[in-house]
Amino acid sequence: MSKSIVVVAAHSDDEALGCGGTIARHSADGDIVHLVFLADGVSSRPGNDDVLRQREAAAAQAHQILGVRSTHYLAFPDNRLDSVPLLDIVKKLEDVLALLAPEIIYTHHHGDLNVDHRITHEAVMTACRPLPGSSVKEIYAFEVMSSTEWSGSGNIPFTPQLTIDISAYLEAKLAALKAYEIEMRPQPHSRSIEHLRALALHRGHSAGMYAGESFMVVRQLR
């Protein structure tokens, strides 16, 4: 029986970086995957109108590769989610989640360097309080290179307890990342195609598989 899966990310490209292979695997297994992006990802940059169109086109291409069913943009300001009352973010997120009724949610790690990532995690935890009748049974936090590993020592470290085998979906993840060419960087940058491939191999090899994506377990209800 198919499950409803929602990835709640701060910006488009975070989903491919953090769990692109897992998204492709869910889609191949017959699950219905939806994406929710809280911030536009570009309004903090000069010439953002053109960049926004480029980024949305890249996202559409990446999501076709990964088999995503629907994408929802909440359009909060980029790199300024901390300037928006959390209640405003939570209300918009709750409205979307009520329509999608996910069983599983993937989102950011709370200890990331990027402030939008941290606010996204907090918004998810608030919107997905384990109230009676809630559809959400599992929440997992992913890592995003150039944010998770660059966080300061005062933040919560990323210590994954779950690795998902994406050996058959690594190339789909990398193809989705290549669609986001404007967001990728040449090696030896942490957010390079070469490094993302190496990370998937490292996560997989560490768990006895070819390629993997690792997650912190935030909630599991049985």
Domain total of the chain: 1
Across the range 70-87, mean pLDDT stands at 95
Q: Would the pLDDT of 218 be above 80?
A: yes
* Domain containing residue 138: 4-220
d(CA 145, CA 108): 11
β-sheet with 162-165: strand ranges across: 70-76, 32-39, 4-9, 104-108, 138-142, 212-220, 162-165
Write the CB contacts of 13 (distance below 8 Å, at least 6 apart in sequence): 41, 55, 58, 59, 62, 177, 180, 183
Res. 51 pLDDT band, cuts 50 70 90 = confident
Query: Where is pLDDT greater, at 42 or 145?
Result: 145
pLDDT of residue 40: 74
pTM of the model: 0.95
Q: What's the chain's average pLDDT?
A: 95
The number of angstroms, rounded, from the C-alpha of 157 to the middle of its chain's C-alpha atoms is: 17
- Give 219's DSSP letter: E
Mean pLDDT of 88-107: 98
Where does the pLDDT of residue 43 fall: very low under 50, low under 70, confident under 90, or very high at 90 and above?
low
28: CATH: 3.40.50.10320
Closest residue by Cα to residue 148 from 7, 5, 10, 6: 10
Query: What is the C-alpha separation between 30 and 14, in angstroms, rounded?
Result: 23
Higher pLDDT, 55 or 141: 141
What is residue 7's predicted lDDT score, i.e. its pLDDT? 98
Of all residues in the chain, what percent carry a pLDDT higher than 90? Answer: 89
More confident: 117 or 51: 117
Residue type, 116: D
Residue 222: Cβ within 10 Å count: 4
Question: Is residue 65 scored above 90 in pLDDT?
Answer: yes
Name the pLDDT band for 49 (thresholds 50, 70, 90).
low
Q: How confident is the model at residue 146 (pLDDT cuts 50, 70, 90)?
A: very high
Show the beta-strand stretches assigned E in 15-89: 32-39, 70-76
pLDDT band at 171 (very low <50, low <70, confident <90, very high): very high
Predicted local distance difference test score (pLDDT) of residue 59: 96
Statement: residue 105 has pLDDT above 60: yes
The pLDDT value recorded for residue 122 is 98
Token representation of residue 57:
């086109």
In 3-state terms, what secondary structure has residue 130? Answer: coil
User: pLDDT at residue 200 above 70?
Assistant: yes
Asked whether residue 72 carries a pLDDT value surpassing 70, the answer given is yes
